[in-house]
Amino acid sequence: MNRSRIIENINVNWKFLRGDESQAWYRGFEDSSWRDVTLPHDWSVEEPFSQEHSSGTGYLPGGIGWYRKNLVLPQELAGKRVNITFEGVYNNAQVWCNSYYLGKRPYGYSSFTYDITDFISFGKQENIISVKVDHQDIADSRWFTGSGIYRDVYITITDAIHIDHYGVFVTTPEVSEDQATVAVNIRLSNESQADETIELSNTLRDAGGSLIESVGDEIVVKTDSCMEINQTLIVTSPHLWSPDTPDLYVLCTEIRKNGEVIDHVNTTVGIRWFEFDADKGFFLNGVNMKIKGVCVHHDAGTLGAAVPVTVWERRLQALQEMGCNAIRMSHNPPAPLLLDLCDRMGFLVIDEAFDEWEGVKHKWSTGHNVYPPKHFGYYEDFPQWGELDIKEMVLRDRNHPSIILWSIGNEVDYPNDPYCHPYFQTMTGNNDANKPAAEREYDPNKPQSDRLTTIAKKLVRYVKECDMTRPVTAALAFPKLANLIGYADTLDVVGYNYKEHLYEEARQQYPNRVTFGSENSASLEAWLAVKDNDAICAQFIWTGIDYMGEAKGWPIRASQAGFMDLAGFKKASYYFRQSLWSAEPMAFLATASKEDPAYTSIKRWHGGAPHWNWKPGDQLDVICYTNCEEAELFLNERSLGTKKLNDSSLGYLTWEVGFEEGILNVVARSAEGIGCACTLETATQPDQLILRVDISELSANGQDIAHIEIEITDSHGKYVYLADDLIRLSIDGPGEIIGIENGDVQDLEPYRSKFRKAHHGKLLAYVRAGITSGQIVVKAEAQGLVSGTVVIDVK
C-alpha cells in the first residue's frame, strides 16, 4: 500500500443543476437527471447575453447552481486523513460531504480546503460532495466574474502524521552567483494516538533530476500536536531564476517512519534575489532592469472564468513575444496554474488580493460610469473574511519565485467611492461632469478616507505574518490623498495608477520611497515616463488582453483595452508595444483611413488594420511599427521612401499613400544591419476556410485542450481580413467543442452556439478531449466557401 501523500484531481464527472434545490445537500438525493459537467465550469457563459443583466459583468447572468460529485475511495486507504480543496468558486460556496455541512466561503477568488476525514467512507461505499453556489448579485463586480466551480478541485490523502496544508515555505535568504542558501520551514501535524519518532528530510534536485543537496533530522512528534522545523540547504553555483533564464529546482520534503516514506510534498523552487531602489529602480540578481508589465483579468471570452492552463499558456507566449516580462493579477488572487506558468515561463508577478475593502464601490450596471450604480460586492464579507482571505492567498502562493510584490488592494482610495475627504473638493481629478454634483462634493456623512490607513496597516501586517521576504504594495487611484492620510506610508512600495505626471513630485517629496506605475495607459508618453526615468522601475498597462465586463453599454459587452482580443488574436496595438518593448528586430504594417475617428483621436496608437483592401482613390496612412533604425516602404515594387524612427515623435513611422491594388511591403533595417520585412496584399473574395491546430495529439483524460484557428482566405490562399462569414463547426470523435470565440465585443450570439461569425477573417475554437482514445475530426463550414477540416489524435 502507498502510505505517502496522494493528490487526485476530481474535475471529471460532476453533476450540475442550474437553479436551486432545497434537498440537494442530502446524500440520498436523486441527481440522475442533472447534467454531466467537467470542471472547471462557468455556467454564466452557457446562457444568452441580455441587456437586463449588468454591463459591469458583461451582460451575462448569475443566479444559483448546484454541483454534486460521487467519490469512491479504496478500502486500503482507511485510516488516512482526507482533505478536499477548491481553488475557486464564484461565489458564496457552501459545501457538504455525505450530508454533513462543512462551511461557506463568500469570496469567489479564494482557494479553500476542508478536512473531510470524519465524514468520508472507504471501500465500496459512495461519498457525495454537494456544493451550492449562490451568485445572485450579478452586479457585484466591475468586470466579469463567472459563476460556478470555475477552477480545479482535488483531494489530498495523507497519513495521520503529515505535512500541513501550505506547510512548506521555501526562502532564499542569501543568494549570489557563487552560492545560495535555501531555507525550508516545515509545519508538521501528528493526528495519531501516540508520540512518534520520524525522520524529516529535504532533497533539492535541478530541472534534470540531478541531486543538488539533501538534509535530514530525526524528530519526535507529540501526539495530537503541531510543530515547526527549519532546515537549510547550500547550493553552489546556482542557476538563478529570471525572465531570461527561468531555471527551477524541485524540493522534495519527506517524512519517513521506520524507513518508509509516509508523506511528501514537492515544491518548485526558484533561486533569485531582488531589490527595489528609490533612485535606481528594480534589480534582479544584481542586474538593473525595467519591468514591462500588463494587467490581466481572469476570463477568456467564450470560456468565461473556467480557463484551462493551455489557454493561459498560449496567451502568455504571445505576451512574452511582445516583450512583456511581468503580470499584475487584477484585482484578485489568480488560479494557481497561472502562477505555475509564470514560474516556468519567467514572468514577474504582482499578486493582488482585493478591489474593495469594507467600503462598497460603484458597480456600473447600465454602462461604464452611468448612474445610478449598484452597490453589491465583497465589502459585505470583508470585515469577517478579509484577514483569512489575504492570508490564504499569501500562504498558498508564497513559494512562487515569480511573485515580487503582494498587493493589498486596487483603487480603494477612489474619491467618494465610498470614502470621502474634505480635500476632494479641491481635486481637479474629481470634477467628472458625468457624475452627479453630490459625487463631486465633500459629504461628512460618508465614510471618511482616514479609515483606509487603519485597514491598510492591518492588511500589511497580515501579509507579513505569512511572508517577510517580499514588499507590500497597493495600486493608488489618488496618490495625493493617499499621501495626505498616511495610506501610502503603510506600503513598502507605492503603486500609482495613471499618474505619470506625479512621478517627479513623488521623488522630490518622498526621496526614500519606491514609486512605480501599477496601472498605466498604453500611450508612448506613459512608457517614456518609465524608460527615461531611472527611479521608476515599472509600468503595468491596462490591459494585456480584452476582458468581459466593464462595458461601455449595450451591445458592447467587454472592454477593448487589451493588446489582444478575447480570442487571443493580436491587434495592431500589440505590434506597437512590441516595437517599444522587444529587443528582437521586428516590423509590422497597418493601414488607416484619415477619416477614421478611432485613428485620428488621441489614442491613435490603437489605430490601424493589417490589410490592403480599400477603395480606389482612398487616401491612407500606412503605419509601420518597428524597433529598427529605418524602414523603406514599397508599393508594387516602387519605393515610397525611407524613414528613420528617430525622426518620428510618434514612436512609429507613417507614409501618406493613395490606395492602389497589389502588394504593399516594408523592409526595416537595424543599426547592426539586421533586416526584417512585412507584407500586405490585396485579397479577392472569400473562398475557403483554413484550419490550424496547435497540437496534433491530446491525452484521453477529459481535460486536455487544443486550439483551432479558422482563417478565411481567397482562392489564392491570401488572408481576407475583412471577411465576416458565418461559420458553423461540427465535431466527430472522443472530444467536444467547449467554446467558439471571434473577439468581437459586439457579437451577441450566445456562446453555447456551434456557429459564429468570423471577425477580422478569423475564428477560434477550443476542443477538449474525452476519456477514450480515437480521432477527433473538426469541420468548419460556411455558405459559399470551401469547408475545412482538422484531425486530432486522442491517446
Residues 45 and 71 in one domain: yes
C-alpha closest to that of 499 among 456, 529, 535, 532:
529
Is residue 794 pLDDT above 70, yes or no?
A: yes
Q: Which of 681, 709, 740 is the last residue of a domain?
A: 681
Torsion of CA 172, 175, 181, 183, to 10 degrees: -10
pLDDT tens per residue across span 130-183: 999 999 999 999 999 999 999 999 999 999 999 999 999 999 999 999 999 999
Q: Where are the beta strands (DSSP E) in 617-746?
A: 619-626, 630-635, 638-644, 653-658, 663-669, 675-681, 688-693, 697-698, 705-713, 726-732, 735-741
Mean pLDDT in the chain? 95
121: its cell numbers: 467512507
pLDDT for 432 beyond 90: no
8 Å CB contact between 313 and 341: yes
pLDDT over 90 (residue 508): yes
Q: Are residues 395 and 520 in the same domain?
A: yes
For 169, phi then psi, to 5°, come to -125, 120
Query: What are the tens digits of pLDDT across the range 13-33?
Result: 999 999 999 999 999 999 999
Residue 224 lies in a domain: no
Tell me whether residue 672 is one of the annotated catalytic residues.
no
- Quick one: 597 and 715 in the same domain? no
Q: Which residue has the higher pLDDT, 5 or 369?
A: 5
Residue from 411, 500, 711, 741 carrying the catalytic annotation? 411
Q: Please state, in angstroms and rounded to a whole number, the distance separating the CA atoms of residues 542 and 557.
A: 17
Indicate which CATH number applies to the domain containing 646.
2.60.40.10
Considering the domain architecture, whether residues 145 and 17 belong to the same structural domain is answered as yes
Same domain for 530 and 671?
Answer: no
| The pairing of beta strand 762-769 with beta strand 735-741 | antiparallel
Q: pTM for the full model?
A: 0.96
The answer to whether position 245 is within a domain reads: no
676 lies in the same domain as 694: no
Q: Is the confidence at residue 604, as pLDDT, over 60?
A: no
Closest C-alpha among 497, 407, 513 to residue 459: 407
Segment 745-761, tens digit of pLDDT: 999 999 999 999 999 99
Domain span including residue 646: 584-681
pLDDT band of 415, cuts 50, 70, 90: confident
Q: What residues form DSSP beta bridges with 689?
A: 712
User: Is 189 domain-assigned?
Assistant: no
Quickly state the pLDDT bin for 421 (edges 50, 70, 90).
Answer: confident
**Residue written as grid cell 457579437:** 747
> Catalytic one among 519, 550, 711, 741?
519
pLDDT tens, residue by residue, 271-300 = 999 999 999 999 999 999 999 999 999 999
Nearest-angstrom CA–CA distance, 230 and 293: 35
Residue 670 shares a structural domain with residue 534: no
pLDDT at 434: 52
Q: Is 175 among the domain residues?
A: no
Whichever domain contains 418, its CATH number is 3.20.20.80
Is residue 668 included in any domain, yes or no? yes
Do 760 and 672 share a domain, yes or no?
Answer: no
Confidence of residue 435 (pLDDT cuts 50, 70, 90): low
Residues 722, 713: contact at Cβ < 8 Å?
A: no
Q: Could you tell me which of 69, 36, 39 has the C-alpha nearest to residue 304?
A: 39
Q: Name the phi and psi angles at 125, rounded to 5.
A: -65, 130
Residue 55's nearest CA partner among 134, 136, 139 is 139
Contacts of 381 (CB under 8 A, 6+ apart): 106, 107
Task: Answer yes or no: is 250 within a domain.
Answer: no
Crossing angle for the helix pair 572-581 and 309-322, nearest 10 degrees?
60
Percentage, residues of the chain above pLDDT 70: 96
In this prediction, residue 372 carries a pLDDT of: 86
639 and 503 both lie in a single domain = no
- How far apart, in whole angstroms, are the C-alpha atoms of residue 168 and residue 171? 10
What cell numbers appear for 243 in the block?
Answer: 525572465
Q: Are 163 and 262 in contact (CB under 8 A)?
A: no
Task: Look at residues 631, 658, 681 and tell me which one is the last residue of a structural domain.
Answer: 681
One domain for residues 604 and 733 = no
Query: Is 282 domain-assigned?
Result: no
Residue, of 246 and 675, whose pLDDT is higher? 246
CATH number of the domain residue 129 falls in: 2.60.120.260
Give per-residue pLDDT as tens, 307-346.
999 999 999 999 999 999 999 999 999 999 999 999 999 9
**Quick one: 653 and 718 in the same domain?**
no
Domain boundary residue among 103, 130, 158? 158
One-letter amino acid of 582: S
Query: Cβ–Cβ contacts within 10 Å for residue 174, how many?
Result: 13
Residue 737 has a pLDDT of 97
pLDDT value for 606: 64
Per-residue model confidence (pLDDT) at position 438: 53
Q: Is 191 a catalytic residue?
A: no
- pLDDT value at position 431? 46
Assigned C-alpha cell, 782 = 460556411
Query: Does residue 650 sit in the same domain as residue 743?
Result: no
**In-domain check, residue 366:** yes
Pairing between strand 538-541 and 291-296?
parallel
754-784 pLDDT, tens digit per residue, is: 999 999 999 999 999 999 999 999 999 999 9
Give yes or no for residue 369 having a pLDDT over 90: no
How confident is the model at residue 429, as a pLDDT? 45
* Tally of domains in the chain: 4
